[in-house]
Structure 1
């Protein structure tokens, strides 16, 4: 199996993983120290240590080392027990709702195997050969998919149900600048270089070109004949540029074409290495994007994302209040922040 394929799966599993939970009463377990009880389930010390090891590994994969790694690890560890408890509550809620995710797990592993060129029947064998416990991989995926399924049904769907047309319209009006397509201009150039000639000689050529333009000569033909830049091969066409606050055109050029309409030619622009004439081929004025169905959908997604964090936090706090949660005395001081959060839930401001 390719190393890059395993590395990718490991990274994905770390990203997906809700830290492994403790033991459910439906499963046999070796004697282990109990860290917390959540309704009828427990979190063991071995599960907590495994989560701590995975947390450190994840931080290392982010490139942290030395003191920076230790600081980040200590800070993230403060809420690790709380995360384990929250994940267990979400899994319990998934069971209450009758949610199953085995099809998603199978599809995920089959898609991963397909990307690596592994036959479906050999996926778990290859995982084992790479040092990954297939059952643990499935459990990690199961926890994540159950968590997301519960939140999708109980939180995200309600968020969308409470985003009304007036919310979308208000966001649209407050962010009109963001939805305004900037003014653009398409230009063609003639560049006369001062290399190998004096400034006066170059300027004389520019004047000759301007006289020919006034007599009705085609700008593109003159660009092909006179211009010293590669754009001459395209009759001087140098493409489309954005004007306004996000301008992609140089200061001198932007100033030279101010007020020019399509078909107009600028005055000569003096540059360090020559003179430039610009012709405005096309000019599009700023345009506010209409609030069509696609933009409405995009705004709904933005509003949902803005509301999601607070909504998820409030939902999990509700699960905590309705649950029996006990933390072993030996871990109460060490995880005081988690215990305080669970015992004294606060509404988001």
Structure 2
């Protein structure tokens, strides 16, 4: 399977283009969220997407168990998305510039000359271009709403982080290893001459002082290109021998020379070296802050969405449940029954 066939994996999971004849389908509305609607067909598409996503990690009876469990919140998540996109409109948030920027980043990542070429590749996957852009737009709008309305209100102090670290030190223990970024010039995508030229050009730009992440976004064929080449942490002894040998000579912050591998030519950069054991708090403070932020934003976001529901008109078809809606307590139900 070529990279272009899996090119849009994360976004494709959010967009399942239908080839069914719309004239033969009676759209049943299963939810109204203010002026927006969710149809049964949209819900079934999301079910298909969820099953396809879970099938990457599960199979057989376990797949069915996971699908049944995670399906419970599927309609909730669709309502959440509609509420946040509507809130973005209320806040006059415009994401059009960011949509164009994101599309161009994706075009560059897959080394396509123009956005028109990128559109053709998207449509080859059976995806409607406007649907593709709309999902990117919705994701950007939701991210902005969460950042403004929820994330900006979360405060984590240095003392909070230190206290959490002290109480959860084993969670931050690490084996010896390195955190790496890569630039891969793929032998499957380029001729030997192109591999040689692109690899040498990339190395020359790094040596000239260009940021490794920027060079990775420009040249790398690896899946990590859009993240600046960051490929994560590797325990000592788990890398391919030729890469292990090159990395052994590097200090944190250093980039290697060209490394010939079976996948193509690589350049790696050591972002961090870790010793085995529990690191000092100062070395992992930002990581601890991120852990605390993630914990707080989940509960804060859930409460924010519950409040949006109170301000909104939401009506569901019989047989459907919004698990994000607040339920009356047992005492309230009992009092109503008297």
TM over 0.5: yes
The answer to whether structure 1 residue 110 and structure 2 residue 99 are counterparts is no
* Deviation for aligned residue 1:124: 0.7
The answer to whether structure 1 residue 140 and structure 2 residue 140 are counterparts is no
With over 3 angstroms needed to count, the CA separation of the structure-2 counterparts of 1:14 and 1:96, relative to structure 1, is: same
Match of 2:51 in 1: 56
Match of 1:13 in 2: 11
Match of 1:127 in 2: 122
What do you get for the CA RMSD once the two structures are aligned? 3.4
Match of 1:316 in 2: 305
* Deviation for aligned residue 1:181: 10
TM-score of the superposed pair, with normalisation by structure 1: 0.55
Supply the distance in 2 between the matched residues of 1:314 and 1:37 (Cα, whole angstroms).
21
The answer to whether structure 1 residue 289 and structure 2 residue 280 are counterparts is yes
- For structure 1, the 5+ residue unaligned runs are 21-29, 183-283
Supply the distance in 1 between the matched residues of 2:79 and 2:172 (Cα, whole angstroms).
42
* Deviation for aligned residue 1:19: 8.9
With over 3 angstroms needed to count, the CA separation of the structure-2 counterparts of 1:31 and 1:97, relative to structure 1, is: farther
* Deviation for aligned residue 1:342: 0.9
Supply the distance in 2 between the matched residues of 1:47 and 1:178 (Cα, whole angstroms).
40
Whichever of the two has the greater Rg, that structure is 1
Supply the distance in 2 between the matched residues of 1:167 and 1:342 (Cα, whole angstroms).
31
Match of 1:171 in 2: 164
Match of 2:150 in 1: 155
Contact 2:162 2:281 in 1 (8 A): no
Deviations 1:177-236 (A, max 9, x none): 778999xxxxxxxxxxxxxxxxxxxxxxxxxxxxxxxxxxxxxxxxxxxxxxxxxxxxxx
Contact 1:19 1:84 in 2 (8 A): no
Q: Give the secondary structure class of the aligned counterpart of 2:38.
A: strand
Supply the distance in 1 between the matched residues of 2:119 and 2:59 (Cα, whole angstroms).
33
With over 3 angstroms needed to count, the CA separation of the structure-2 counterparts of 1:127 and 1:290, relative to structure 1, is: closer
With over 3 angstroms needed to count, the CA separation of the structure-2 counterparts of 1:169 and 1:43, relative to structure 1, is: same
Supply the distance in 2 between the matched residues of 1:79 and 1:313 (Cα, whole angstroms).
13
Q: Give the secondary structure class of the aligned counterpart of 1:88.
A: helix
Supply the distance in 2 between the matched residues of 1:53 and 1:91 (Cα, whole angstroms).
23
* Deviation for aligned residue 1:304: 0.9
Match of 2:180 in 1: none
Deviations 1:5-54 (A, max 9, x none): 23131x22156x3999xxxxxxxxx9622111111211112211221221
With over 3 angstroms needed to count, the CA separation of the structure-2 counterparts of 1:181 and 1:301, relative to structure 1, is: closer
With over 3 angstroms needed to count, the CA separation of the structure-2 counterparts of 1:130 and 1:290, relative to structure 1, is: closer
* Deviation for aligned residue 1:91: 0.7
With over 3 angstroms needed to count, the CA separation of the structure-2 counterparts of 1:95 and 1:65, relative to structure 1, is: same
Supply the distance in 1 between the matched residues of 2:126 and 2:32 (Cα, whole angstroms).
31
TM-score of the superposed pair, with normalisation by structure 2: 0.57
* Deviation for aligned residue 1:312: 1.4
The answer to whether structure 1 residue 342 and structure 2 residue 335 are counterparts is no
Match of 1:67 in 2: 61
* Deviation for aligned residue 1:88: 0.6
Supply the distance in 2 between the matched residues of 1:112 and 1:327 (Cα, whole angstroms).
37
With over 3 angstroms needed to count, the CA separation of the structure-2 counterparts of 1:296 and 1:48, relative to structure 1, is: same
Supply the distance in 2 between the matched residues of 1:180 and 1:166 (Cα, whole angstroms).
20
Q: Give the secondary structure class of the aligned counterpart of 2:325.
A: helix
Supply the distance in 2 between the matched residues of 1:42 and 1:140 (Cα, whole angstroms).
16
Contact 1:113 1:119 in 2 (8 A): yes
Supply the distance in 2 between the matched residues of 1:318 and 1:287 (Cα, whole angstroms).
41
